[in-house]
Structure 1
Amino acid sequence: METVSLVLVMLVAVLFASILRRMLPASFSVPQPLLQIALGAGIGMVSDWRLQMDPQVFFLLFLPPLLFLDGWRIPKEGLSHDRGIILSLAIGLVVFTVVGAGYFINWLLPSIPLGVAFALAAVISPTDPVAVSAIAARIPIPKRLMHILEGESLLNDASGLVCLRFAVAAVLSGGFELSDAVLDFLRLAVGGVAIGVAIAWSINWAKRWISRHFGEEAAAQILVSLLLPFLAYLAAEHLHCSGILAAVAAGFVMSRTELSGQALAVTRLQRRAVWDTLQYALNGLMFVLLGEQLPGIVSRLGILDDPGTLSWLLLYVLIINLSLMGLRFVWVFASLRFTLFAGKNAAAFQPRKALSIAAVTSVAGVRGAISLAGVMTLPLYISFGYPFPARDLVIFLTTGVIIVSLIVAGIGLPLLIRGLEMPYEPEEHVHENRARDQAAQAAIKAIEQALHRLSEDCPDAGGYIEVASRVTDTYRSRIESRAASLESQNLTRVAEEVERQLLLVGLQAERSELFRLARTRRLDEQQARRLIRQIDLIEAQHIR
């Protein structure tokens, strides 16, 4: 009962951190994960409750859905366009960081065995997509660089956690052979991806068949999507393959399946809302949980009894952060010439520009939820009941690295981002406008075909023709207005912003009136909900 109560209190803390961040003035913006850790630490200090969770259970509950969502929502176009540098950061940089930081941490802190140092380096090697997006919401990062950072953070989770698995296995077994590790990695990776793809494809095929023959129920579809990452993960682990990569692969398949457009619109809207809520809750809960564990970790490390120890540990955290940024800077600068400035962009390569991009990318390497999830999965004991070496110290250092990376990015990025120039990338709105026009032309064609079929079935189709003309005129005016707008680019942005503001004012007034009618029982409650939801969807498309 205490465990359930503590989890509920932590969820309330997640909500309170969000409210508190919004209440703070814009000049005093604090990253939300820091508030969540602080609230969790407050819970740990004022309460005697402690959430004792088996690391494997923690791994199962938190990581499969988050990694599945990463694979599902990764920007495929940006990944394809900048696949060279993204894969270089997501795989090459992770291995480079694990090796370099692992040896450095073992040299800096000899009390941490080499295998445990590699585990710590693997934990702090992945960057966090949620933290990167949160910082980008406050700092105008160039769009192409943001795509690269998002693609990296969505892919390096799996590579970092796979490296963590090997490091932990080396600690538990007491040995490590590089050749065996490479073969095991290939077996884990290929098997995990194959199992994830097979399970996701099979379930989605069965789901489509059932929907086509017996109809679709939105709640059942959402439940299937929630169960899918756990099924892929457990199946891969049962077959001694990588459950991490299986969850990511299942997310990729889910993304491709969604593009088929076979699900109902209501299913897509509700499913997205459910997954957004789940992602928000899991990410926040991990930070609060870490804060709740901190008082006990600090007590076991003896920091409170010896202030000098705390000073040294904080110094170690700063040094480890500097080493991570240094390794990241070296890797990014060395790889830019062969990735971002390759091919047609080779002539644009300038050492000064490359240094600026490498510096911004290094500071933007924010650690977050995945690092937390990884460090919390470290085993409590090794063989014969001996505790896992330096586990509390590794958790403390990981927490410090996360906090410092958030602070450094919040302070350093606004300074480094000024004047940053990225290689040319075609504007996305050109493709979007072309797609809108093509969609409108397809709609006009479909309406005309439907009208022709109705005319054959009904002798007097004059009313149908008039209705069809009104609908097609709407699509034609949309195409013509966009074509006309291209002739007056100097006024487009101002006019669009004015139109957007006026539309939002009108939508707010319309929604307020519907609420009033529902409160006074002049409108059925279900009808009011449906109409208000339609307004909400329109507003969501125009909010920036």
Structure 2
Amino acid sequence: MMPFSIPTPLVQIVLGGVIGMSTSHRVELDPELFLFLFLPPLLFLDGWRIPKDELFKDASTVVELALGLVLMTVIGMGFLIHWMIPAMPLAVAFALAAVVSPTDPIAVSAIAARVPIPKRMMHILEGESLLNDASGLVCLRFAVAAALTGTFSAGSAALNFLWVAGGGLVIGVAVTLVVTRVKAWVTKRWGEDTGSQILVSLLIPFGSYLLAEHFHASGILAAVSAGVTMTYAEISRQALAVTRMRRNSVWDMIQFTLNGIIFVLLGEQMPGILAGARQTVAVTGHSEAWWLAIYTLAIVAGLATLRFVWVWASLKLTILRKAKRGVGVQTPDWRLIAATSVAGVRGAITLAGVLTLPLTLNDGTPFPTRDLAIFLAAGVIVVSLVLASVTLPFLLKGLAMPPEPARQAEEDSARIAVAQAAIQAIERHQHALAESHGEADLFADAGGQVMTLYRERIEGLSERQSAEARTGDRLLRDFRLVGVKAERAALAHLLRARNISSETARKLTRELDLSEARFLG
């Protein structure tokens, strides 16, 4: 039997709840400030680190989930919520449906850290959660506008959505390209400062977000596209190895810290939300607070059902399309579809979105059922996390997964290619030193030792530790650095030519950074 492990977000929510109950002080969350401080860096980092090849390979599936499923969820759940709670106006029901429709990349990553989710399924979930927040928050914007004004224009909403999404994507790409080009120019003229490089990488997501919001586009999508672009912008403008290593450490710390703060804040808000449950439930026409739990479970069940139907229908259409082209596709196990449905957990974006509901209408009267919407959204976040934590291990246990392409052959091929490039570069450096300084035997011996290491790697033999122990020697160090530089150039060429995946390139780059840091140390 698979052991049950509690995901970190649930522990953090409980910790926040304990903090909230142990003090009378409350953190007043400003939704706009919350969005600006927490989401841009986290979404930027997810976009930066997500495997790009896998994302683009399943682009059609990701778009279907991020756009089509969100729209169907907003419409279907909006009518369901209004039917269950007639006291909640239809526009407010659509607003609540909009904030619970996007899955959350932060929560998805946290669940994946505890549950062995298949790689391709995880890539689809991450790609979906990076993009569906824009469609969900745009739907929220129009639902709130309809609640405030009593009018709604589908044509205007569609045009606005195109601008919000497209503008955000373009601005994020443009900001990253401009900043990285300027940074490369400054580095070329005055040298590279590690601290400044790290600071610039931290400012890019905030700059993208603010610029997009200034032009009324999606700041969140701008941060995502800025992160995705960083991978390609750095292929031709490589930073120093020590800069990349320190920058990775800084970003890892920021990711861990911000993730923790988000869920602790959610837990801290829960006592206040629960304290008003008795008054909140009165709006629904009931007196017992447990009705709120029933509504929350009904919404979670509705979300999972719609998601299951959408994923099932999408897979059937994909199989039919490939069958027409003569491509045989194995029908996936229903448990895989169920796991995909349950894994769509809600998190920080839902919390931030529901808190943006205005306090009053245009005439100054209180916004209808605002507290009820906040309570239900918070309940959906907690229940979806618990549901995924409990059911995913059982759904995925012993499940025969569709075959995934092996990465080992690709990685081995890349290692051979970069090692051959290193040998050629060392030979050229060896000849150049011999011609300019003489003493050809000395340079031939030093270069030969280093080239032997690469040849043994190509032949699959273990590296000789005796040569590694003498890397303090100046010549050996110089030849090793020439080899690493050539490896890096060959790796960039393979990535540009799409002969290797970004995940393989990241792994090999990390190894080269460690080697270079050791030889320079």
Residue of 303, 311, 330 corresponding to 1:324: 303
Q: What residue number does 2:28 align with?
A: 52
Q: What residue number does 1:230 align with?
A: 206
After superposition, residues 293-372 of structure 1 pair within 5 angstroms as 293-302=269-278, 309-339=288-318, 342-343=321-322, 346-350=327-331, 353=332, 355-372=334-351
Is the Cα–Cα contact under 8 Å of residues 128 and 366 in structure 1 kept in the other structure?
yes
**CA gap 1:141/1:188 in 2 versus in 1, 3 angstroms:** closer
Is the Cα–Cα contact under 8 Å of residues 4 and 393 in structure 2 kept in the other structure?
no
After superposition, residues 242-253 of structure 1 pair within 5 angstroms as 242-253=218-229
**CA gap 1:136/1:62 in 2 versus in 1, 3 angstroms:** closer
The one-letter code sitting in structure 2 at the alignment partner of 1:32 is: T
**CA gap 1:191/1:291 in 2 versus in 1, 3 angstroms:** same
Q: Which of 306-315 and 119-128 deviates more?
A: 306-315
Q: Kindly indicate whether residue 229 of structure 2 is the aligned counterpart of residue 240 of structure 1.
A: no
Q: What residue number does 1:90 align with?
A: 66
**What per-residue deviation string (whole Å, max 9, x for no partner) do you get for residues 321-352 of structure 1?**
110110000000000133377537952343xx
The one-letter code sitting in structure 2 at the alignment partner of 1:299 is: A
Deviation at 1:27, TM superposition (A): 4.5
Q: What residue number does 2:485 align with?
A: none
Q: What residue number does 1:152 align with?
A: 128
TM-score, length-scaled by structure 1: 0.79
Q: Supply the distance in 2 between the matched residues of 1:384 and 1:29 (Cα, whole angstroms).
A: 50
Is the Cα–Cα contact under 8 Å of residues 333 and 354 in structure 1 kept in the other structure?
no
Q: Secondary structure at the match of 1:30?
A: coil
Is the Cα–Cα contact under 8 Å of residues 7 and 114 in structure 2 kept in the other structure?
no
Q: Supply the distance in 2 between the matched residues of 1:367 and 1:259 (Cα, whole angstroms).
A: 34
Q: Kindly indicate whether residue 431 of structure 2 is the aligned counterpart of residue 455 of structure 1.
A: no
Q: Supply the distance in 1 between the matched residues of 2:287 and 2:138 (Cα, whole angstroms).
A: 36
Q: Kindly indicate whether residue 111 of structure 2 is the aligned counterpart of residue 135 of structure 1.
A: yes
Q: Percent identity?
A: 55
Q: Kindly indicate whether residue 247 of structure 2 is the aligned counterpart of residue 286 of structure 1.
A: no
Residue of 400, 403, 410 corresponding to 2:382: 403
**CA gap 1:181/1:333 in 2 versus in 1, 3 angstroms:** same
How many residues align structurally?
461
Residue of 163, 183, 189 corresponding to 2:165: 189
Residue of 138, 148, 152 corresponding to 1:176: 152
The one-letter code sitting in structure 1 at the alignment partner of 2:122 is: M
Q: Supply the distance in 1 between the matched residues of 2:109 and 2:368 (Cα, whole angstroms).
A: 35
Q: Which of 249-258 and 101-110 deviates more?
A: 249-258
Q: Supply the distance in 1 between the matched residues of 2:30 and 2:348 (Cα, whole angstroms).
A: 18
Q: Supply the distance in 1 between the matched residues of 2:129 and 2:276 (Cα, whole angstroms).
A: 33
Is the Cα–Cα contact under 8 Å of residues 126 and 371 in structure 1 kept in the other structure?
yes
Q: What residue number does 1:6 align with?
A: none
Q: What residue number does 1:437 align with?
A: 416
Q: Secondary structure at the match of 2:27?
A: coil
Q: What residue number does 1:7 align with?
A: none
Q: Secondary structure at the match of 2:70?
A: helix
**What per-residue deviation string (whole Å, max 9, x for no partner) do you get for residues 1-27 of structure 1?**
xxxxxxxxxxxxxxxxxxxxxxxxx95
**What per-residue deviation string (whole Å, max 9, x for no partner) do you get for residues 262-290 of structure 1?**
21112212222222222222222121112
Deviation at 1:304, TM superposition (A): 10
Is the Cα–Cα contact under 8 Å of residues 73 and 101 in structure 2 kept in the other structure?
yes
Residue of 272, 276, 286 corresponding to 2:248: 272
RMSD: 2.7
Is the Cα–Cα contact under 8 Å of residues 130 and 224 in structure 2 kept in the other structure?
no
Is the Cα–Cα contact under 8 Å of residues 290 and 372 in structure 1 kept in the other structure?
yes
Q: Which of 273-282 and 415-424 deviates more?
A: 415-424
**CA gap 1:164/1:272 in 2 versus in 1, 3 angstroms:** farther
Q: Supply the distance in 2 between the matched residues of 1:308 and 1:273 (Cα, whole angstroms).
A: 52
The one-letter code sitting in structure 2 at the alignment partner of 1:478 is: R
Q: Supply the distance in 2 between the matched residues of 1:260 and 1:64 (Cα, whole angstroms).
A: 25
After superposition, residues 203-218 of structure 1 pair within 5 angstroms as 203-218=179-194
The one-letter code sitting in structure 1 at the alignment partner of 2:180 is: N
Q: Supply the distance in 1 between the matched residues of 2:281 and 2:330 (Cα, whole angstroms).
A: 54
The one-letter code sitting in structure 2 at the alignment partner of 1:274 is: V
Q: Supply the distance in 1 between the matched residues of 2:384 and 2:340 (Cα, whole angstroms).
A: 12
Q: What residue number does 1:506 align with?
A: none
The one-letter code sitting in structure 2 at the alignment partner of 1:291 is: G
Q: Supply the distance in 1 between the matched residues of 2:186 and 2:350 (Cα, whole angstroms).
A: 39
Q: What residue number does 2:478 align with?
A: none
Q: Supply the distance in 2 between the matched residues of 1:199 and 1:141 (Cα, whole angstroms).
A: 34
Q: Supply the distance in 2 between the matched residues of 1:345 and 1:32 (Cα, whole angstroms).
A: 45
Q: Supply the distance in 1 between the matched residues of 2:203 and 2:367 (Cα, whole angstroms).
A: 32
The one-letter code sitting in structure 1 at the alignment partner of 2:407 is: E
The one-letter code sitting in structure 1 at the alignment partner of 2:315 is: L
Q: Supply the distance in 2 between the matched residues of 1:235 and 1:164 (Cα, whole angstroms).
A: 21
Deviation at 1:361, TM superposition (A): 0.9
